[in-house]
Each structure stands twice: as structure tokens, then as C-alpha cells.
Amino acid sequence: MSNTLENLLSAVASGEITVQNALQSLEKNSFVDLGYAKPDLDRDRRQGATEVIYGEGKTAEQIIGICQALIGAGKERVLITRVSPEKSQIIAEQLNDYSYYDEARVGLVGGFPQDRTQGMVLIAAAGTSDLPVAEEAALTAEFLGNTVERCYDVGVSGLHRLLAHEDTLRKARAIVVVAGMEGALPSVVGGLVSCPVIAVPTSVGYGASFGGIAALLGMLNSCASGVSVVNIDNGFGAGYQASLINHIAENASQEA
């Protein structure tokens, strides 16, 4: 912000723009006020990624409104997470080039980008029931331009299934590990690789899994060193974080 500020101050000092215009320029243009929401149009520049819409707790109408505001402001594609099939159907009727991924409950306007990173993001999941969360992570990372591989049902009670994929694990620039129940998979994966592991606890389980608390605590207490954690069932956040890591490396590679 101070950068922008300095430029603006210079422009004001030189008389290029008036005080009032400078003021408006600072406060406007960076978001649209829809009343119920203020979609952020400036995130590309500020954070390197279009705003993604969290669909839960918003009506189909609100989602459509925000999409239209983003598209109207020149965005090519929009990702919407946590969309129910019912809402999705309403959205599909109002927006062009919209597709829906029902396992992950993810909607997409404008399709996936063609260009993908050199580096690869791996999504690993412990059990069949963890797939919805894993797919949310995978689709998010693909939306953000990453090359993505998947490795599912490799829980720690059958180690040979995981060890059979050790080569793939070692090739990734970032690994998202999705697991419910005791959440032990990130610790085992973290001990095998030298890239960052983003652990996602899922609410899969019953009784003393307490809706994912057991997995969350397990991951926070991981005895492996390169593991960080996102919220329970937050596939989006893990895919996003993995993408940031992958792009940091991609950018470093391109600048070199």
C-alpha cells in the first residue's frame, strides 16, 4: 500500500491528479459494494489469485451476483466451493460456461486454465471416505494453474500401499495429505519426503473422532518436522497453500 501511496503522492505533488481524485482512487476500484458483499477486485495484483467464492451460507442469487461482478470486472474464471447440488442447478441456469464437480461440491465458471506449472502438487488421501475433501484440494490447485497428481486410499494400517508410491511422493513440490480418524498419514508421509506437507484433517470417523478433532490434534502434534495444518475438511485451503508454495518455486525458476 505504501508503494501505491508514494506513487499517488508524487502524482498529486506534480498536479497530475487532484486531491479528490487521488482520494477516490485510493478508496474505490478495489472492491464492488453489492450491499450483502464487497467482492475484492484487486486480489490478483495483491495476492496473485482471483477471489474464490465460499458458497456455504450464501444464496444462489448472492453467488450469481458476486460471479457477475467479478466477470464484469474482467475476471476470466471463478471458483465456487461448498455449493450444494440445488444451488448449483440455479447457478447453471444463469451463468455461461459453468461446470459442477459433485463429489467435491465445487462449481467452476470459465473452465480450468490450460497453462500448468512445471512443478507438481500431490494430493494424497488416507481412505475412500476422504475423497470429497481431497478432490476439493485437487480442483482448487488445478484452478490455480498447478500440475496435480492424486494418490488415494493409502492409510497407515496398510503401509505397503503408500510405500508403492514413494517415487511419486518424492517428486512433488508440495503434498496435501488428507486423512480422518487418527490422522496419522501426514506424519508418515512427512518422514519420507523433503517438501512441505499440508495436512487436512477430515470429519470422517465417529465417536471419539469428534467430527475431525482427533485427526486435527494428531496432525498438529505430528512428530514429523515439515507438516503444517489447515482447518478440518478445508481442502480448498490446503490446495491454495500448496499452490502458493508451488508458484513461489515456479516464479523463482522463471526469474532465474
Q: How many CB atoms lie within 10 A of CB 203?
A: 17
Q: Which is nearer to a second copy, 142 or 233 (CB)?
A: 233
Phi, psi of 184 (to 5 degrees): -85, -15
195 contributes a contact to a second copy by CB under 8 A = yes
Q: How far apart are CA 243 and CA 249, in angstroms?
A: 10
Q: How far apart are CA 32 and CA 15, in angstroms?
A: 28
60 contributes a contact to a second copy by CB under 8 A = no
Place of cell 465458471: 109
Q: Which is nearer to a second copy, 58 or 109 (CB)?
A: 58
x/- letters, 94..123, toward a second copy (CB under 8 A): -------------------------x----
Q: Give residues 171-190 in contact with a second copy (rule: CB under 8 A).
A: 173-174, 181-184, 187-188, 190
Q: Give residues 130-149 in contact with a second copy (rule: CB under 8 A).
A: 131
Give burial (CB, 10 Å; 0-12/13-18/19+) of 8: middle
x/- letters, 153..172, toward a second copy (CB under 8 A): xxxxxxxxx-xx-xx--x--
What letter represents residue 123's amino acid? I
Q: How far apart are CA 99 and CA 107, in angstroms?
A: 6
74 contributes a contact to a second copy by CB under 8 A = no
Q: Give residues 29-48 in contact with a second copy (rule: CB under 8 A).
A: 30-31, 35-38, 40, 42-43, 46-48
91 contributes a contact to a second copy by CB under 8 A = no
Classified as helix, coil or strand, 196 is coil
